[in-house]
Amino acid sequence: MSATLVAYQDLKWLIDCGEGTQRQIMRANIGFKNLSRIVLSHEHLDHILGMGGLLATLNMLQPVEHVVVYGNPTVLERVRQMTSYIGRTAQYDLQFQVLQEGLVFTHRQLDCYAFPTRHRVKQSYGFLMVRNAAASSRVKACRVPVDSSSTPMTCSVLRNLAKSSSTSAIRCISLSSAGWRRVPIV
């Protein structure tokens, strides 16, 4: 399963959402509150199959007011299909945003950028987190969406971002079907 949860200040977001992601979030005792952005790298099922269960869980628990799902058109169509099986209308504002190269979103001092990657699909993206505050240096974090071996790299570069930040630390939780592990960012 491919999923990485990133927590920064009062925001949580997911990079990919493999099958069982919502279960792993519960097992890790992370909670769903403020999980408002889900960035999906590409349409392979090991990166998106958890979306139906996660969105149904959010619908049942109602810990958020809105959720934005970012992905290429194929990804978003597959996620829309999954939402049709939830059984009732979303109890939160569910938005779909087509992912393109460039700025995806900004949250206070953190910008998330998408960049194209080479993979076995037409459109695949990696992600770059850039501290946008007027700091002496811009620190970057990226995740290349190829396989689960990229998760430690994600946490490593996020750790570097947290070290350079004078604001709240970033927490990175690597979720997998074998279990979860909190990756210390100090």
Report whether pLDDT(72) > 90. Answer: yes
Q: Is 10 a catalytic residue?
A: no
State the catalytic residue, choosing from 10, 16, 46, 147. 46
Confidence of residue 142 (pLDDT cuts 50, 70, 90): very low
Which of 37-51, 141-155, 169-183 is most confident?
Answer: 37-51
Q: Quick one: pLDDT at residue 1?
A: 66
For 156, the domain range is 3-183
C-alpha to C-alpha distance for 31 and 73, rounded to whole angstroms? 29
Chain segment 80-136, per-residue pLDDT in tens? 999 888 878 888 999 999 999 999 998 877 888 888 887 777 788 888 877 775 333
Q: Quick one: pLDDT at residue 150?
A: 38
C-alpha to C-alpha distance for 151 and 164, rounded to whole angstroms? 20
Report which DSSP code applies to 51: H
Burial class (CB in 10 A: 0-12, 13-18, 19+), 132: middle
Report whether pLDDT(23) > 80. Answer: yes
Total domain count for the chain?
A: 1
Report whether pLDDT(55) > 70. Answer: yes
Better pLDDT: 76 or 164: 76
C-alpha to C-alpha distance for 58 and 35, rounded to whole angstroms? 9
The whole-chain average pLDDT of the chain stands at 75
Chain segment 120-139, per-residue pLDDT in tens? 777 888 888 777 753 333 33
Q: Quick one: pLDDT at residue 47?
A: 87
Report which DSSP code applies to 146: T
C-alpha to C-alpha distance for 11 and 8, rounded to whole angstroms? 5
Q: Which two tokens stand for residue 48?
A: 């998106």
Q: Quick one: pLDDT at residue 177?
A: 52
Q: Domain containing 97 — which CATH number?
A: 3.60.15.10
Better pLDDT: 71 or 162: 71
Question: Angle at the Cα of 43 (from 39 to 47), degrees rounded to 5?
Answer: 60
Instruction: Give the residue among 31, 36, 2, 8 at the shortest CA–CA distance from 162.
Output: 8
